[in-house]
Amino acid sequence: MEERNKTLGEFIIENQKAFQYSSGELSRIINSIRLAAKVVNYKVNKAGLVDIIGAAGEQNIQGEDQQKLDVYANEVFIQTLINREIVCGIASEENDDFITVQGSDNCHNNKYVILMDPLDGSSNIDVNVSVGTIFSVFRRITPIGTPVTSEDFLQPGINQVAAGYVIYGTSTMLVYTTGHGVNGFTLNPAIGTFYLSHPNMQFPKDGHIYSVNEGNYVHFPQGVKNYIKYCQREEEDRPYTSRYIGSLVADFHRNMIKGGVYIYPTSSKAPKGKLRLLYECNPMAFIAEQAGGKATDGFGRIMEIQPTELHERVPFFCGSHNMVEKAEQFMAEAL
């Protein structure tokens, strides 16, 4: 069978043995995400036709206004994972604390925990801009048979066994890795099936796109300011262009295909950064590294950071390897 004609289900089955723990649960987690993503995709595509856009009237743990679609996507992913009894714990950007999951036999025998941002960039849904779902999977470290604890979720990113994202855009794609490269699957909406459309995705080593919210320029550290000035110099060998969507998934996806760097640094307004280590930075860093890219906090590897709390924030530099290294150079020189 031609690679690009493979369905996501066929791909999972064929690559089952490559998983670190080949017991079938990890495959079932990816299948559950596939199902939930199709449900959320259906709602996203009806935005404007049904009462699903706008603020929900609540705030999440970060103090951000929740959108109706945030709440809906969160419920869909959580319920899909719980109903299939394949994880022992779930942590979501939208929830204050993690959720302990036990099977129908009231036991805690499942081996994996999942952390997720159910709808990244949801404030853009009202204006028809691409949004996404980000997920990260870890093997639990507490004894099987006992309820999960925070220790199972507060693991460094190097312990991830799978990570991925779904982008709801002009087409809907599921992109994921289990530590053996990155593959992208596009949804055929006519039959509801994901097909392998982007095998072995790779970041170009260099790129010409820098993605940063330059509206916050005056609040950035000097190293980031200097890097932006470097990108803006008019020289023949550096025709850089600024592209910033405001949805991490969309900016990351574009840069992985075309080559670029995404930067969300610390600032005087957000001294620890804005993006969440566990729900956004770790999974995107895992994908980036598996695709030949690089992800740091400006000085060190994202996936080696030891988390101390569920909703921890960190600065994030991610993308084409050489571009991230150049940004790190400017950060080091500005110290």
The answer to the question of whether 242 is labelled as a binding residue is no
Last residue of a domain, one of 146, 168, 198: 198
Residue 27 lies in a domain: yes
Q: Is residue 179 part of a domain?
A: yes
Are 272 and 174 part of one and the same domain?
no
Nearest 5°: CA angle at 177, between 224 and 190?
110
pLDDT of residue 2: 55
With a cut of 50, say whether residue 1 has pLDDT above it: no
Report the candidate in 227, 228, 223 with the shortest Cα–Cα distance to residue 335: 223
Q: Identify whether residues 172 and 228 lie together within a single domain.
A: no
In a domain, 204, yes or no: no
Contact 89, 100 (CB under 8 A): yes
CA distance 224 to 202: 25
What's the token pair of residue 110? 């499942």
- On whether both 169 and 222 belong to a single domain, the answer is no
Q: What is the mean pLDDT of residues 47-66?
A: 52
Same domain for 193 and 215? Answer: no
Evaluate whether residue 203 is within a structural domain: no
Do 261 and 169 sit in the same domain of this protein? no
Same-domain status, 276 and 191: no
244 is in an annotated binding site: yes
Residue 55 has pLDDT above 80, yes or no: no
Q: How far apart are CA 302 and CA 318, in angstroms?
A: 9
Q: What are phi and psi of 47, to 5 degrees?
A: -55, 130
120 is in an annotated binding site: yes
Is residue 313 included in any domain, yes or no?
Answer: yes
CA 120 – CA 167 distance, rounded (Å): 9
In the chain the beta strands, taken as DSSP E runs, fall at 55-59, 65-67, 89-92, 99-100, 112-120, 131-139, 160-168, 172-177, 182-188, 193-198, 209-211, 241-242, 260-264, 294-296, 316-319
Q: pLDDT tens digit string along 124-165? A: 777 778 999 999 999 999 999 999 999 999 999 999 999 999
Residue 51 annotated as binding site: no
Residues 6+ apart with CB under 8 A from 121: 129, 130, 131, 132, 245, 246, 247, 248, 249, 250
Question: What was the pLDDT predicted at 74?
Answer: 95
Q: Is 119 known to sit in a ligand binding site?
A: yes
Distance, C-alpha 63 to centroid of its chain: 20
Both 185 and 242 in one domain: the answer is: no
Same domain, 187 and 276: no
In this structure, is the dihedral angle defined by the CA atoms of residues 158, 159, 161 and 163, taken in order, positive or negative? negative
Tell me if 26 is assigned to some domain.
yes
Is 122 annotated as ligand-binding? yes
Helix or strand (DSSP H, E) at 76: helix 68-83
117 is in an annotated binding site: yes
Residue 213: inside a domain: yes
Say yes or no: 185 and 244 in one domain: no
pTM of the model: 0.93
**Domain end (from 198, 226, 241):** 198
pLDDT of residue 22: 54
| Domain containing residue 19 | 3-198
Is 229 in the same domain as 193?
Answer: no
Q: Would you state the pLDDT for residue 20? A: 57
Q: How many domains does the chain have?
A: 2
Q: What is the CATH number of the domain that holds 98?
A: 3.30.540.10
Q: Which of 198, 229, 259 is the last residue before a domain boundary?
A: 198
**16-20, 22-26, 36-40, 54-58: least confidently modelled range:** 54-58
- 279 marked ligand binding residue: no
Please tell me whether residues 32 and 123 are part of one structural domain.
yes
Residue 2 annotated as lining a ligand binding site:
no
pLDDT digits (tens, 9 = 90+) for 69-123: 888 899 999 999 999 889 999 999 999 999 999 877 778 889 999 999 999 987 7
Residues 77 and 96 both lie in one domain: yes
Element spanning 228, H or E:
helix 222-232
